[in-house]
Structure 1
Amino acid sequence: MDPKMNVGSAGYQEFRNAWPVVLAAMFGIGLGLSPVPFYTIGMLAPELNKAFGWQFGSMMVGVSIMTAIVLVASPAVGWLADRYGVRRVALISVLLFGLSFMAFALGNGDIRLFYVTWGVTALFGAGTLPVTWTRAVANRFETRKGLALGLSLLGTGIFGFAIKPLTAWLIAAHGWRTAYVVVGALPLVVALPIAYFGFHDAGMRGASLLERRASDAARRAATPGMSLAEAARDWRFWLIAVACVLISFAVGGPIPNMENILRVAGFAPSDVVGLVALIGLSVIVGRILGGWLIDRFWAPGVAWLMLSLPALACWQLATGAMDMNTARLAVFLFGFAAGVEYDLIAFLVARYFGMKNYGAIYGALYAFFALGAGAGPVVFGRVFDKTGSYSSILLTAGVLFVVGASLLLPLGRYRRFAPIASPVAPSAVRESLQQAPATASECPLR
């Protein structure tokens, strides 16, 4: 039989069995900490300025606080996901994130309370970051791992595209406090039920708490791959980490400032609205196309091509001499790069470090990603405040795109991690626990 037919059949079977996990991850990520505060702050900040007189720069400190919390929390969340299971961490975090985001509506004019709310939201919402959701997806898929991860991360593009106009409508119709409450309720009424019924890691749906604990211990022993300490001693880890900082800075800096970048370039406000909406759509394209490509071709090579293209967009925006079509292409390339980067990190972790401690390793690398993404908007804003132009920092971002993507090329061939133990069904775990609870050593990969 043609090997390609076997691969296609295996990929179909993976999606047939695990599509609820992908769907739950899509909604969980899309209505989580990663996109929601990032895409709504630009709409809500002018209202807070009117209500309390806060300066925009002072409000952006909240983004920096969120980034600082994520730098600390994401490795811890990865460890918790490895230790207690991604389902438990994700469900609790979705609930607490929604409630803490709604707490922004209680603002009383004291900006210190505003900052505290940012910190609490980041701490409670860290479990909604891709590190938890992609763990279960990566466990469920092998043949179509890249496409599955891309579809899971599609939520950031879908909700990034939809949440800006939704927030604007809520503000216009009911005020900024209601906007915070409604947007914060979305994870509770949409993402949480879908995750509760559809988000299960491999092999343990319907198992008891005791069985899950036994499975956790056995999974760590049976799953091939590297520990976080082993990964941290590997030069590939640090190469990916540096690439994450550079690429996330180059992507994260222009996107929140895009409205102002286009305004400075001479575009009318009505044109700017239409252009910025392309970001969410291009993120979706990047997610799907990037996932499809890295399943079929060497991921670092795909990344080099797809993440070097936005350097042209940086150059186009820096010159300021653009017509509408050129601007559309530039904005599209930024969103396209944002769509590629998330699932690329998840894929590289699985292929180069294995699944044994995927959550902890992904969380550690995500901290580097957050460092660049958090610093980018602030640096872009300060450069504009001092010079009245984004040209110099856009050209710098263009260089960082190429350098960051090029750093991935020396990673070499994917590692192969041989299976340590064969998975068994949950029923076998029950029998093992009944016969010898203290010595149960084999259970399915979670």
Structure 2
Amino acid sequence: MMERGSLAELKAGWLLLVACAIGVGCSAIALPFYSIGPLTKPVEAATGWARSEIQFAILFSSGLGALTSPIVGWLIERYGARRVAMPSLVGVSIGLLLASFATTLEQFWAGYAAAAILGAGSNPVLWSRVVAGSFEKARGTALGLALVGTAFIAMLLPGIVALAAPSLGWQGALRLIAALPVLVALPVVYLFLHPRDTETAKQATVARTGLNTRQALTDRRFWILTGSILCGYLAISGAGPNLIPTLSDRGFDSAAAAGIASFYAISMIPGRILSGFLMDRFWAPMVACVVLLLPASACLIISHSADPTMLALSCALLGLAAGAELDVLAFLTARYFGLRHYPQIYALSYVALASGSAVAPTIFSRIYESTQDYAASFQTAAALFVAGGLLVLALGRYPVLPTGGDQNR
């Protein structure tokens, strides 16, 4: 049973959680990343571009997201989350709309790059800061509920592409996706994104507790967490966008491939919520370790199986990890380093996450092009999951964090 205080926090902030969930689902990290997998084969068929060239767009999108995330952390501290989020959502729409008019690879990449730059303030750095500062007793659960928006968008986009691409082409499908931040997220964020972290003296004290950025960067736990997250996101980001192409190559038609791959997106939802709930109650690194070890076996199954039931189960296990990773980074950053400089510290670890997200799809596609099979890619993902899961255990026990202006802890 959830403690009464935790439940009261969630009830009081449910509209804020809705705004964060929709905002992160329409962010510059979610829409470009989760659109590229379903779009890969339609774009390939229409243009003749290689799969690795198409998925190279993620390097521009997530890679630039990595570079801009420390700046976003500073902007949030200076101007507040709401003022940063709203123009950024518009920027995501503009970038993806530009990509939909591309006639060359360079223009396609430029559109994804524009989405990353103009939409930088919509990335998880912002939404996780809002939630971490607004919730204390139910922080893990709240992070899971807020970040579940990426799971819903991952589940929604393959259907949008499958329905729209046959009649509207990949360009029309991408334009529908580009409309989501402005038509769906922007009104909700405008109405309901009102952070609650200054409402009480206790919350204000919590917000002043923790390490500064310099202290975090000289703490071995920062690099352990960052290394674990990098391993996990290299695996997730390499495997996820290539699920539908892999299934198609196994002989499944587009509808069947999308149906099997949908288990990946569906299981992200319980992955988000359950991981946050468990981290509120148990030692979070152990929860993170289990979440990362489970999909290692799933990747080995995907690497060679053609059985739809086993593939669906494996996609579900992979989705659990994809659902939990953002929660894990957000929760462990707050728990080990505090909230005093949370946006900046989280943003620096987020560089590793976004970098993994940027390079992995292209690396996995290149492996496919050299072997004409995805087996080696998924075996690599399995090894990365194991490495990330074991590494996070080295974080050790939760620290006692300094409060206020104590700079020497």
With the length of structure 2 as denominator, give the TM-score of the two structures. Answer: 0.92
Equivalences for 1:22-421 in 2 at 5 Å?
Answer: 22-49=17-44, 51-107=46-102, 109-202=103-196, 223-265=208-250, 267=252, 269-318=254-303, 320-417=304-401, 419-420=403-404
Deviation at 1:117, TM superposition (A): 1.7
Deviation at 1:12, TM superposition (A): 1.9
Give CA-to-partner distance per residue, 1:156-208, whole Å, 9 cap, x none. Answer: 11111012211332233334333333221211121111111111122569xxx
Give CA-to-partner distance per residue, 1:268-322, whole Å, 9 cap, x none. Answer: 554322211111101111011111111111110011112101111122223x245
Of 164-173 and 70-79, more deviation after overlay is shown by 164-173
Please tell me whether the aligned partners of residues 45 and 59 of structure 1 are also in contact (alpha carbons under 8 angstroms).
Answer: yes
Distance between the aligned counterparts of 1:391 and 1:48, measured in 2? 23
Give CA-to-partner distance per residue, 1:246-277, whole Å, 9 cap, x none. Answer: 11111111111112333444555543222111
Amino acid in the other structure paired with 1:324 = P
User: 1:383 and 1:413, CA in 2 relative to 1: closer, same or farther beyond 3 A?
Assistant: same
User: 1:328 and 1:22, CA in 2 relative to 1: closer, same or farther beyond 3 A?
Assistant: same
Distance between the aligned counterparts of 1:325 and 1:47, measured in 2? 26
> How many pairs align?
402
Please tell me whether the aligned partners of residues 36 and 241 of structure 2 are also in contact (alpha carbons under 8 angstroms).
Answer: no
Distance between the aligned counterparts of 2:101 and 2:256, measured in 1? 34
Give CA-to-partner distance per residue, 1:85-118, whole Å, 9 cap, x none. Answer: 11211112112222222222332x2332222222
Amino acid in the other structure paired with 1:76 = I
Please tell me whether the aligned partners of residues 92 and 118 of structure 2 are also in contact (alpha carbons under 8 angstroms).
Answer: yes
The two structures, once aligned, show a CA RMSD in angstroms of 2.3
Q: Which runs of 5+ in 2 are unaligned?
A: none
Of 340-349 and 258-267, more deviation after overlay is shown by 258-267
Deviation at 1:399, TM superposition (A): 1.8
Distance between the aligned counterparts of 1:173 and 1:240, measured in 2? 45
Amino acid in the other structure paired with 1:335 = G
Distance between the aligned counterparts of 1:277 and 1:241, measured in 2? 29
2:10 aligned to which of 15, 21, 37: 15
Find the structure with the greater CA-based Rg.
1
Please tell me whether the aligned partners of residues 60 and 378 of structure 1 are also in contact (alpha carbons under 8 angstroms).
Answer: yes
Distance between the aligned counterparts of 1:28 and 1:260, measured in 2? 28
User: 1:386 and 1:180, CA in 2 relative to 1: closer, same or farther beyond 3 A?
Assistant: closer
User: 1:314 and 1:222, CA in 2 relative to 1: closer, same or farther beyond 3 A?
Assistant: closer
Please tell me whether the aligned partners of residues 133 and 197 of structure 2 are also in contact (alpha carbons under 8 angstroms).
Answer: no
User: 1:42 and 1:355, CA in 2 relative to 1: closer, same or farther beyond 3 A?
Assistant: same
Identity of aligned residues (%): 35
With the length of structure 1 as denominator, give the TM-score of the two structures. Answer: 0.84
Q: Which runs of 5+ in 1 are unaligned?
A: 206-218, 422-446
Please tell me whether the aligned partners of residues 74 and 367 of structure 1 are also in contact (alpha carbons under 8 angstroms).
Answer: yes
Deviation at 1:145, TM superposition (A): 0.4
